[in-house]
């Protein structure tokens, strides 16, 4: 009995019923009960709940965390309780923040279940009845009416003016006109299966009767739910980079600590002393602040993005967006307004343009660039009047926003007439409607009969080819009208033709015979779902930032191509790939196509997922935007899913990593900037933290090789770690973005946290600090000072080296002297706090006793500051040389 979803539309009515072992009078209650036992309830499978304990344990699955836990254990055994406490506090704080973020992420599939209607009208036991939607089975005869949701996938058997809003499933911006006729083509996507109705879509007009062909997980909606469930969470690039970085740092630190331990033993130090020094040096070198700074930097990014109408649901998405190389975007409602707008008119003599977008009656009718009104041009007035009166919809204002009650196309016609100066209420009063022929897709037109004073008029609108057959036109007129209509359509517009005729003074009814001939052509109106102006600007910005924008839509290829050109996504002659063409390709062929094709039209849900996966296969960092149910699998499969907050379905939002509260593609561009700032700041923190640890180990090795005592006590190493990394690393997370951050190309996805430049500079700075500390330390000893004095000099030199290194870290290329010192107030004040803490370390008696320090003389202070400032000179010189060679 089962058929694939792609075959039912090819079946004749009776063949479908026979296959499903059903009849026009429906199933019996007993048969329905048997089938319910066979097929199960008409709902999506319940998803397993995630264990809170699993989420909590997941927060500790990081090599850097493992190293910190080992360091905490070792320092605890060595009775360094304060340091153990600090390390454990960092680990636990990081775990709590990560746990709360992950626990808040709701399951995508649960939202899909909310789309199921509670009740369905069916024919069972030969009569109409209402049953729970979950009890529907294949073979049930379902009745649809305007305003209802489709409760299962149906093959339509009978319909009356049925139109269904399928935007949430197919991406089509206009309601789909449905038919019951057999479709012979193979491989049609859902958007082209006009004799099918799919679960979760909404009936906006008409009535119908259909037979259930699929329920629950077997429906198109159920297939999407299955895909969403089967797609594992894709690790964000930053998560990969942090893990790789942690592995590398862990190995280097353990290797360096082991080397230090062995050298000390070879030079005659005791095992206990060297073990303590090696552990202290390892703790000082490990950037234990990095996990929490990563979290804080992302949290700062979240707050900044929220100001740009971008709500982050998962923290790693902040950085991921900043590293994005391709943004795949749905068209309807994302790049366009999802509001039909008349943009071009033709009154039989002249062409006009109309400014303004959406349903707000703000804009002008332009003739050769000059504003005109209906009052000044009779032909224009007639054309606009027909569009206004031959109409079943209304445009109204609600909460400062204009909306349409009815068909979006008809709403666009009303708005266009208002822009021309016509007043709907006054026009309806002067041209009272007496009768109407509703729009029928088979006939392709709508007509109304009006009383205008003593005169009665028939007004008509419809498809140009249909309307022109009813009009009396000369061959020359017909050729010109056809030329204009074709030109409008080539721009991706939906084109309607308008006509009229006088009726008999006593005519009060209207039939198809009244409109069959003798009409006078009044003109054409071309409309389109217009691009958002800010989206055009944002796409241009994406190009400058080296980010490619790909449009994936359910709309027709001509419309998609026209919108793609207007948005600047493609050039005039660039190819558009359709769902049918894509269906015929295997993954390898599609892999090649996604290199060059930037507009995909008439796609099915699984196509969007395939496109996303092939882009990822190319090594691209992919952001996928969308608002419909059809977007959910691709949103989840992409590195970052971006859902629309206003028009987006719950499914799309809950499958996403980020939600745009204003549905504005331009907000993504703002969020990209914040994402890049986050990654920049992570690099700055890393460059700030590593050199001191490297310098600690190198300076110890240098002095031991020189036959001198170790320049720091273990407690002093831990102090250096505390005072230099306590606040400044966190403060780095608040650095504002550098100039030109959006003019850079996206960084290489294969590049780690540390770029080659920063690795080179880290080694350079580490050596400068190590040599500077060793020089000041040995100088102090050579001058006959005590070991306590020399060690105080060494520690203070190290602390002030890191003070100047904090300034160096604020930019990879720009001179620190061109950066506002108060541009990051948190960093400025944290550095002042570090200086005050170091003064207490030197001069406060309790701290002198704990850390074995002594006061420094003015001469020693001058030497400390002069040597420490050398790192600023060296890095400034390095930046200058790199700027020159760039």
Q: Beta strand pairing status for 445-452 and 326-330?
A: unpaired
Q: Which of 153, 330, 555, 680 is catalytic?
A: 330
Triad 348, 352, 355: Cα angle to 5°: 150
Q: CA nearest 148: which of 133, 126, 129?
A: 133
Q: Which residue pairs from 359-364 have beta carbons closer than 8 angstroms and sit at least 24 positions apart in sequence?
A: 359/395, 359/402, 359/403, 359/404, 359/411, 359/412, 359/415, 360/401, 360/402, 360/415, 361/395, 361/402, 361/415, 361/418, 361/419, 362/419, 363/419, 364/419
Cβ neighbours of 713 (radius 10 Å):
20
Cβ neighbours of 820 (radius 10 Å):
9
Q: CA nearest 515: which of 496, 497, 501?
A: 501
Residues 609, 357: Cα–Cα separation, whole Å: 32
Give the DSSP H/E element, type plus range, for residue 281.
Answer: helix 271-285
Q: Which residue shows structure tokens 């600007």?
A: 537
C-alpha separations of 453 from 21, 394, 456, 457 in Å: 60, 24, 8, 10
330 is a catalytic site residue: yes
The alpha carbon of 803 is separated from its chain's Cα centroid by a whole number of angstroms, namely: 39
Q: Which residue shows structure tokens 């073979």?
A: 139
Residue 441 DSSP one-character state: T
Output helix, strand, coil percentages for the chain, rounded to the nearest 5: 50, 15, 30
Residues 651, 630: Cα–Cα separation, whole Å: 9
Give the DSSP H/E element, type plus range, for residue 859.
Answer: helix 858-885
Residues 736, 738: Cα–Cα separation, whole Å: 7
Q: Beta strand pairing status for 310-312 and 326-330?
A: unpaired
Phi, psi of 44 (to 5 degrees): -85, 150
**Paired strand residues for 122:** 129, 142
**Paired strand residues for 626:** 643
Residues 658, 236: Cα–Cα separation, whole Å: 13
168: tokens are: 């949430």
**Paired strand residues for 142:** 122, 210
Cβ neighbours of 126 (radius 10 Å):
9
Cβ neighbours of 247 (radius 10 Å):
14
Rg, C-alpha atoms of the chain: 36
655: tokens are: 């499958």
C-alpha separations of 736 from 58, 300, 305, 469, 824 in Å: 31, 11, 13, 65, 7
Residues 10, 12: Cα–Cα separation, whole Å: 7
Residue 885 DSSP one-character state: H
* Total residues belonging to the chain: 886
Give the DSSP H/E element, type plus range, for residue 367.
Answer: strand 365-367
The alpha carbon of 582 is separated from its chain's Cα centroid by a whole number of angstroms, namely: 24
Q: Beta strand pairing status for 599-601 and 445-452?
A: unpaired
CB burial string 738-748: b at 16+ within 10 A, e below = beebbeeebbe
Q: Which active-site residues does the annotation give?
A: 330
């Amino acid at each position: 009995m089962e058929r694939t979803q792609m075959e039912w539309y090819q079946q004749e009515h009776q063949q479908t019923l026979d296959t499903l072992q059903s009849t026009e009078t429906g199933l019996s209650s007993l048969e329905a009960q048997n089938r319910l036992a066979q097929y199960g309830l008409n709902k999506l499978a319940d998803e397993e709940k995630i264990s809170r304990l699993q989420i909590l344990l997941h927060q500790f699955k990081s090599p850097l965390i493992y190293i910190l836990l080992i360091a905490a254990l070792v320092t605890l055994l060595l009775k360094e309780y304060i340091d153990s406490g600090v390390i454990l506090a960092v680990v636990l704080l990081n775990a709590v923040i990560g746990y709360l973020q992950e626990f808040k992420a709701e399951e995508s599939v649960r939202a899909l279940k909310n789309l199921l209607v509670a009740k369905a009208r069916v024919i069972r036991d030969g009569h109409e009845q209402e049953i729970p939607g979950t009890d529907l089975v294949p073979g049930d005869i379902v009745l649809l009416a305007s305003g209802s949701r489709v409760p299962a996938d149906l093959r339509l058997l009978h319909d009356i003016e049925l139109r269904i809003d399928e935007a949430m499933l197919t991406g089509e911006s206009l309601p789909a006109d449905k038919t019951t006729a057999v479709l012979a083509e193979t491989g049609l996507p859902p958007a082209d299966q006009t004799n099918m109705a799919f679960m979760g879509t909404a009936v906006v007009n008409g009535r119908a009767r259909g037979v259930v062909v699929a329920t629950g997980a077997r429906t198109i909606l159920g297939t999407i739910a299955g895909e969403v469930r089967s797609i594992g969470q894709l690790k964000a690039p930053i998560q990969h980079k942090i893990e790789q970085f942690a592995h590398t740092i862990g190995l280097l630190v353990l290797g360096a600590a082991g080397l230090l331990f062995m050298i000390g033993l070879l030079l005659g130090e005791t095992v206990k002393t060297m073990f303590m020094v090696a552990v202290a040096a390892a703790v000082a070198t490990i950037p234990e602040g990095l996990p929490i700074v990563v979290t804080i930097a992302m949290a700062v990014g979240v707050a900044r993005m929220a100001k740009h109408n971008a709500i982050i649901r998962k923290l790693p998405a902040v950085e991921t967006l900043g590293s994005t190389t391709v943004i795949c975007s749905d068209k309807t409602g994302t790049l366009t307004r999802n509001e039909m707008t008349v943009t071009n008119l033709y009154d039989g003599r002249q062409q006009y343009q109309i400014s303004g977008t959406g349903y707000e009656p703000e804009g002008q009718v332009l003739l050769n660039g000059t504003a005109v009104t209906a009052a000044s041009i009779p032909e224009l007035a007639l054309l606009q009047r027909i569009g206004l009166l031959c109409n079943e919809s209304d445009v109204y204002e609600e909460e400062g926003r204009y909306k349409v009650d009815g068909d979006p196309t008809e709403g666009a016609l009303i708005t266009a007439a208002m822009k021309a100066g016509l007043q709907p209420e006054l026009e309806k009063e002067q041209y009272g409607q007496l009768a109407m022929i509703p729009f029928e897709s088979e006939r392709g037109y709508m007509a109304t009969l009006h009383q205008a004073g003593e005169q009665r008029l028939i007004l008509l609108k419809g498809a140009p080819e249909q309307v022109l057959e009813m009009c009396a036109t000369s061959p020359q007129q017909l050729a010109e009208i056809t030329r204009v209509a074709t030109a409008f359509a080539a721009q991706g517009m939906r084109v309607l033709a308008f006509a009229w005729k006088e009726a008999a003074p006593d005519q009060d009814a209207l039939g198809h015979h009244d409109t069959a001939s003798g009409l006078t052509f009044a003109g054409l109106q071309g409309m389109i779902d217009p691009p958002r102006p800010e989206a055009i600007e944002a796409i241009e910005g994406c190009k400058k930032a080296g980010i490619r924008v790909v449009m994936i839509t359910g709309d027709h290829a001509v419309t998609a191509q026209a919108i793609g050109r207007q948005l600047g996504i493609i050039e005039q002659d660039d190819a558009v790939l359709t769902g049918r063409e894509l269906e015929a390709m295997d993954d390898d062929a599609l892999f090649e196509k996604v290199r060059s094709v930037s507009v995909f039209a008439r796609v099915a849900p699984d196509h969007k997922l395939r496109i996303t996966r092939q882009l990822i296969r190319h090594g691209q960092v992919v952001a996928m935007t969308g608002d419909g149910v059809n977007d959910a699998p691709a949103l989840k499969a992409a590195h970052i899913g971006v859902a629309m907050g206003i028009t987006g379905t719950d499914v799309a939002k809950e499958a996403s990593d980020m939600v745009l509260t204003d549905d504005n593609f331009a907000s993504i561009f703002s969020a990209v900037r914040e994402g890049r700032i986050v990654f920049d700041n992570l690099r700055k923190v890393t460059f700030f933290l590593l050199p001191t640890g490297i310098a600690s180990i190198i300076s110890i090795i240098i002095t031991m090789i020189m036959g001198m005592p170790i320049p720091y006590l273990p407690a002093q190493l831990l102090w250096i770690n505390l005072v230099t990394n306590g606040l400044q690393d966190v403060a780095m997370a608040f650095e504002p973005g550098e100039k030109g951050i959006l003019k850079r190309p996206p960084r290489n996805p294969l590049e780690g946290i540390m770029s080659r430049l920063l690795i080179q500079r880290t080694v350079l700075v580490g050596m400068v600090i190590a040599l500077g500390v060793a020089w000041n330390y040995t100088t102090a000893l050579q001058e006959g000072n005590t070991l306590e004095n020399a060690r105080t000099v060494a520690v203070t030199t190290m602390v002030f080296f890191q003070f100047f290194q904090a300034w160096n870290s604020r930019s990879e290329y720009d001179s620190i002297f061109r950066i506002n010192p108060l541009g990051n107030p948190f960093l400025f004040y944290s550095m002042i706090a570090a200086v005050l803490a170091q003064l207490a370390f030197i001069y406060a008696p309790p701290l002198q006793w704990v850390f074995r320090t002594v006061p420094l003389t003015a001469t020693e202070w001058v030497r400390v500051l002069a040597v420490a400032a050398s790192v600023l000179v060296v890095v400034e010189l390095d930046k200058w040389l790199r700027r020159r060679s760039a």
